[in-house]
């Protein structure tokens, strides 16, 4: 059936059940700051919203939890906005008012809060919160429950793959708080609904598919049109470059490839780069040397990016990266990201030339990073993206199907897929068949943590007790990091704050006293020790200060642990 026919069928089901299928409009019209919320949803968005409404509220199909699965930047917030407008059109029946809608995420990202509020009706904006603001959501839930037993609420968890462990705040604060106020087995009857949203959350799809959950759930898939720029279309167009072949930007081969890529653009472009941890300054220096006429700008959660060129002296600071991206550059601009834009953010990319990522250990991180920002509608047709080719292969041949709730493809190497997505374990099948999918026990979902998959729950690995006598500990002191680096070539220079190195023994990194470090080095040899093979060693660098008021009193101490048997 066509999308139009599916919409007509869904509308008929909604109206036959006694509900309205019209989208709500505020009684006194839209506010000036609700322009995006007032937009008419595209047909795929409206269809997905209708399907979610049916699964939530229509007798015979009712579910307490709906998971919205889609590709990156496919318009998921537009689906949510359309769903809310359907809900508010039926407010008299459903009793879900704007103050009973909460939209949260496990990210600590003010840009997500700003973008999400702009796209939703004004009445629900006070219920939008990122990870750091979940406390206010708990207080709002408690207040509702204090007035009358908690009922008729909708909680939406955006980018649900993030902070998805049972120990993370979305579970420890939100899922757990609702369960305490109303046990999950009563959510359906009390009108308590959860929607999770993600483009990279196969574990929820696997868990829902098994029907072994404490609450009823269903997957809704947001379809795309031919106008959508996807990972597949980017790959087919040859615009994805194999990052594994070129190394990192703080190395000569990486800069050489970036120079080649930039030279392909006839006009100045803005290039968005993600350096290795701790290498932002080195990359900035290399860029200034390789592109002496270009502007190099850092961009992180604290400094943002000060305007360049003639505006630099004004002290103006761009609070939204799109303020920078929408201005046609007159010279090449390199933006070096630090801990920003790993999901959700929609980037204006008409003037973007190169997006250079770094290879992370998880497929969801690689997909949602700069590759994900290049996907979507009305996107540039010339931008090139340097990203993990292995992640692209994993996505196109396996994850894309699993995320949508389809069966796992057969004949793939499970080892390269296992634990590459949050909470998702993949075990090889005998005879080359479809691999077994399991959900980690520590993975959080509405109604409870862990479970699901045709192989059952993954139990936490048994803790192996290490024998202290099997290990040799050595302590070596150096006057500078350079000297320590000569002795142990693979150590990394620690972060500095106000000229003092920040290292740790057992807790968070901080400025340590010399005697603290020596006490740690003389203690248990296996404390915090990763698994190592017999004959192998692990070096751990700590910096201790003989005088905490003097940066030049630092002693660089390497503790080497060698496994003897």
DSSP for 332-384, written as a single string:
-EEEEEES--SSS-----TTEEEEE----SSHHHHIIIIIHHH-BSS--SS-E
| Helix 3-16, helix 43-57: angle, nearest 10 | 30
Residue 84 — very low, low, confident or very high, per pLDDT cuts 50/70/90? very high
Phi-psi region of 354 (alpha: psi -120 to 50; beta: other; left: phi over 0): beta
For 550-562, how does the pLDDT look when each residue is reduced to its tens digit (9 = 90+)?
Answer: 999 999 999 888 8
**Nearest CA among 497, 449, 371, 402 for reference residue 206:** 402
Residue 171 — very low, low, confident or very high, per pLDDT cuts 50/70/90? very high
Least confident range from 80-94, 298-312, 326-340: namely 298-312
Residue 396's contacts (CB-CB under 8 Å, 6 or more residues apart) are: 231, 232, 235
Please check whether residue 388 is in contact with residue 244, taking contact to mean a CB–CB distance below 8 angstroms. yes
* 168: pLDDT strictly greater than 80: yes
* 306: pLDDT strictly greater than 50: no
> What is the average pLDDT across 416-443?
86
For 18-74, how does the pLDDT look when each residue is reduced to its tens digit (9 = 90+)?
Answer: 999 999 999 999 999 999 999 999 999 999 999 999 999 997 778 999 999 999 999
**Nearest CA among 234, 271, 206 for reference residue 72:** 234
184-190: long-range pairs with CB below 8 Å, 24+: 184/64, 184/214, 184/215, 184/446, 184/447, 184/448, 185/214, 185/215, 187/64, 187/215, 187/447, 188/62, 188/63, 188/64, 188/215, 188/216, 190/149, 190/150, 190/151, 190/152
Residue 406's contacts (CB-CB under 8 Å, 6 or more residues apart) are: none
The pairing of strands 500-501 and 424-427 is unpaired
Residue 485's contacts (CB-CB under 8 Å, 6 or more residues apart) are: 491, 493
Q: What's the mean pLDDT when you consider all of the chain?
A: 88
Token pair belonging to 76: 């998921």
Q: Who has greater pLDDT, 298 or 534?
A: 298
Confidence at residue 219, expressed as pLDDT on a 0 to 100 scale: 95
Confidence at residue 311, expressed as pLDDT on a 0 to 100 scale: 33
> Residue 328, exposed/middle/buried by CB under 10 A (0-12, 13-18, 19+)?
exposed
Q: Which of 114-128, 241-255, 397-411 has the highest mean pLDDT?
A: 114-128
* 138: pLDDT strictly greater than 80: yes
Residue 477's contacts (CB-CB under 8 Å, 6 or more residues apart) are: 555, 556, 557, 558
* 315: pLDDT strictly greater than 50: no
The pairing of strands 65-69 and 128-129 is unpaired
Confidence at residue 528, expressed as pLDDT on a 0 to 100 scale: 65
For 449-459, how does the pLDDT look when each residue is reduced to its tens digit (9 = 90+)?
Answer: 655 444 444 44
* 373: pLDDT strictly greater than 50: yes
Euclidean distance between CA atoms 139 and 120, whole angstroms: 22
Report CA-CA distances (Å) from 5 to 1, 12, 17, 46.
6, 11, 19, 12
Confidence at residue 501, expressed as pLDDT on a 0 to 100 scale: 92
Token pair belonging to 122: 């004004």
Confidence at residue 449, expressed as pLDDT on a 0 to 100 scale: 61
Residue 244's contacts (CB-CB under 8 Å, 6 or more residues apart) are: 359, 388, 389, 390
* 235: pLDDT strictly greater than 60: yes
Report CA-CA distances (Å) from 415 to 291, 411, 420, 430.
41, 12, 10, 14
Strand partners, 557: 477, 542
| 8-state DSSP, 99 | G
Phi-psi region of 451 (alpha: psi -120 to 50; beta: other; left: phi over 0): left
Least confident range from 245-249, 255-259, 318-322, 375-379: namely 318-322
Name the percent of the chain lying above pLDDT 90: 65
Phi-psi region of 411 (alpha: psi -120 to 50; beta: other; left: phi over 0): left
* 440: pLDDT strictly greater than 50: yes
Euclidean distance between CA atoms 72 and 342, whole angstroms: 11
Strand partners, 376: 229
The pairing of strands 500-501 and 444-445 is unpaired
Euclidean distance between CA atoms 113 and 483, whole angstroms: 46
Query: Model pTM?
Result: 0.77
Question: 3-state class of 242 per DSSP?
Answer: strand
Least confident range from 56-60, 100-104, 146-150, 382-386: namely 56-60
> What is the average pLDDT across 108-124?
93
Residue 79 — very low, low, confident or very high, per pLDDT cuts 50/70/90? very high
Domains delineated in the chain: 3-221 (3.40.50), 231-393 (3.40.50), 468-563 (no CATH)
């Amino acid at each position: 059936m066509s999308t139009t026919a599916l919409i007509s069928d869904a509308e008929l089901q909604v109206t036959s059940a006694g509900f309205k299928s019209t989208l709500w409009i505020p009684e006194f019209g839209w506010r000036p700051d609700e322009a995006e919320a007032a937009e008419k949803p595209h047909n795929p968005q409206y269809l997905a919203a209708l399907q979610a409404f049916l699964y939530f509220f229509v007798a015979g199909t009712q579910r307490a939890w709906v998971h919205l699965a889609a590709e990156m930047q496919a318009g998921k917030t537009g689906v949510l906005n359309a769903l809310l407008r359907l809900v508010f059109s039926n407010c008299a029946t459903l009793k879900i008012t704007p103050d009973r809608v909460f939209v949260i995420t496990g990210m600590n990202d003010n840009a997500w809060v700003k973008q999400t509020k702009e796209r939703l009706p004004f009445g629900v904006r006070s219920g939008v919160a990122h990870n750091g603001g979940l406390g206010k959501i708990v207080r709002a839930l408690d207040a509702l429950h204090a007035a009358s037993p908690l009922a008729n609420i909708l909680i939406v968890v955006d980018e649900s793959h993030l902070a998805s462990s049972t120990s993370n705040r979305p579970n420890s604060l939100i899922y757990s708080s609702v369960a305490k106020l109303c046990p999950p087995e009563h959510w359906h009857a009390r009108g308590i609904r959860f929607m999770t949203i993600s483009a990279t959350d196969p574990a929820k799809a696997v868990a829902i598919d098994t029907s072994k959950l404490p609450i009823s759930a269903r997957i809704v898939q947001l379809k795309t049109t031919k106008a959508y720029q996807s990972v597949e279309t980017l790959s087919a167009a040859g615009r994805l470059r194999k990052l594994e072949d070129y190394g990192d930007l703080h190395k000569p081969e990486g800069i050489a490839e970036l120079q080649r890529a930039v030279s392909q653009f006839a006009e100045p472009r803005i290039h968005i780069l993600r350096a290795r941890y701790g290498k932002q300054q080195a990359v900035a220096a290399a860029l200034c040397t390789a592109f002496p006429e270009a502007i190099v700008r850092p961009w992180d959660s604290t400094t943002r990016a000060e305007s360049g060129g003639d505006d630099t002296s004004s002290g103006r600071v761009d609070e939204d990266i799109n303020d920078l991206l929408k201005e046609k550059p007159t010279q090449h601009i390199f933006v070096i990201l630090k801990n920003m834009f790993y999901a959700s953010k929609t980037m204006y990319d008409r003037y973007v030339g190169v997006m250079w990522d770094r290879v992370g250990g998880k497929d969801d991180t690689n997909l949602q990073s700069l590759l994900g920002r290049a996907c979507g509608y009305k996107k540039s047709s010339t931008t090139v993206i340097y990203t993990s080719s292995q992640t692209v292969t994993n996505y196109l041949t396996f994850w894309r199907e699993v995320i949508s709730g389809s069966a796992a493809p057969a004949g793939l190497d499970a080892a390269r897929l296992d634990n590459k997505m949050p909470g998702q374990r993949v075990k090889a099948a005998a005879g080359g068949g479809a691999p077994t999918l399991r959900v980690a026990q520590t993975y959080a979902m509405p109604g409870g943590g862990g479970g699901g998959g045709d192989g059952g729950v993954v139990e936490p690995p048994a803790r192996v007790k290490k024998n202290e006598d099997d290990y040799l500990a050595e302590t070596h002191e150096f006057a500078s990091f350079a000297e320590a680096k000569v002795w142990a070539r693979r150590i990394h220079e620690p972060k500095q704050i106000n000229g003092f190195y920040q290292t740790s023994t057992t807790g968070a990194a901080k400025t340590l006293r010399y005697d603290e470090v020596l006490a740690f080095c003389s203690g248990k040899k296996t404390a915090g020790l990763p698994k190592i093979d017999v004959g192998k060693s692990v070096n751990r660098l700590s910096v201790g200060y003989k005088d905490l008021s003097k940066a030049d009193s630092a002693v660089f101490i390497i503790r080497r642990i060698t496994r003897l048997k």
